């Protein structure tokens, strides 16, 4: 079986695997269904771990130097994977992109910090720029972990119940229906009767209808795609 490999260029290797080492993803890491190869960018600085410098043309903050990043990237043995730079300027990450990324054998991620990285490095290596949303975080490590989490759970054998993935939000452009478990009655709130009926056809129809209603209300953009696909 192939091991999906994540090369991560970071200033904070000690932050990994962090949450990625827990529960299902952690077990998958132990079972070698995926592998984490951490590259500490600081090790490729020529002077006292200094990786950044002031931006030409002025402006606030510091910029990570291209020569330091080049050393870090060149140290990776497995060079065939696509290289992603996590940045608010990138293409908005989505389940569809996660599915695509999970089909490769791995990926290389560059985690930015400070104001970002020198543009020449992005251009030279044709980095694929990805954003996890319209907000600014302090660095690219959390975004990389978000992207990795969504990819790894899609890898074969990571989640044993394949149906669990098929019924999740964004499959077929629908959000997930409401979920209920024991107890049947809680604070005078009852589980919908239909879910206790044992009638599989009725339950399936109820779930679809709930998914449709919630998607129509909350996500008109997805609703349009859903109607088109029907």
Ligand X SMILES: C[S@@+](CC[C@H](N)C(=O)[O-])C[C@H]1O[C@@H](n2cnc3c(N)ncnc32)[C@H](O)[C@@H]1O
Binding footprint of ligand X on the chain (CB under 6 A): 86-89, 111-113, 115-116, 131-133, 135-140, 143
Name the closest residue to ligand X (Cβ). 112
The C-alpha atoms of residue 175 and residue 177 are separated, in whole angstroms, by: 7
| Shortest distance (Å) from residue 18 CB to ligand X | 16
| Shortest distance (Å) from residue 106 CB to ligand X | 19
Q: Which C-beta is closer to ligand X: that of 106 or that of 116?
A: 116
| Shortest distance (Å) from residue 15 CB to ligand X | 13
Q: Which C-beta is closer to ligand X: that of 100 or that of 209?
A: 100
> Do residues 84 and 108 make contact, with C-beta atoms less than 8 angstroms apart?
yes
Q: Which C-beta is closer to ligand X: that of 138 or that of 229?
A: 138
| Shortest distance (Å) from residue 146 CB to ligand X | 8
> Do residues 86 and 111 make contact, with C-beta atoms less than 8 angstroms apart?
yes
Please list the residues that pair with 4 across neighbouring strands: 34
Q: Which C-beta is closer to ligand X: that of 105 or that of 123?
A: 123
Please list the residues that pair with 7 across neighbouring strands: 37, 108
| Shortest distance (Å) from residue 223 CB to ligand X | 25
Residues 131-151, buried b or exposed e (16+ Cβ, 10 A)?
ebeeeeeebbbbbbbbbbebb
Q: Which C-beta is closer to ligand X: that of 87 or that of 215?
A: 87
Question: For residue 29, is it left (φ>0), alpha (ψ between -120 and 50) or beta?
Answer: alpha
CA torsion, points 61, 18, 80, 119, in degrees to nearest 10? -10
């Amino acid at each position: 079986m192939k091991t999906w490999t994540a090369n991560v260029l970071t200033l904070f290797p000690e932050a990994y695997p962090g949450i990625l080492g827990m529960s299902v993803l952690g077990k998958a890491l132990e079972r070698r269904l995926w592998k984490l190869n951490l590259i500490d960018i600081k090790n490729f600085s020529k002077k006292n771990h200094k990786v950044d410098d002031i931006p030409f043309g002025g402006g606030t903050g510091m910029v990570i130097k291209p020569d330091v990043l080049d050393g870090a990237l060149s140290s990776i043995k497995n060079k065939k994977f696509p290289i992603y730079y996590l940045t608010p300027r990138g293409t908005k990450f989505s389940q569809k992109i996660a599915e695509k990324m999970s089909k490769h054998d791995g990926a290389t991620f560059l985690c930015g910090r400070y104001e970002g990285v020198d543009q020449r490095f992005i251009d030279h290596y044709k980095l694929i720029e990805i954003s996890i949303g319209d907000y600014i975080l302090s660095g690219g490590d959390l975004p990389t972990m978000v992207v990795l989490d969504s990819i790894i759970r899609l890898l074969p054998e990571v989640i044993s119940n394949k149906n669990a993935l098929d019924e999740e939000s964004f499959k077929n452009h629908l959000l997930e229906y409401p979920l209920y478990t024991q107890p049947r009655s809680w604070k005078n709130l009852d589980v919908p009767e239909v879910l206790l009926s044992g009638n599989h056809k009725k339950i399936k129809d109820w779930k679809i209808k709930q998914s449709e209603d919630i998607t129509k209300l909350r996500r008109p953009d997805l609703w349009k795609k859903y109607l088109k696909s029907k």
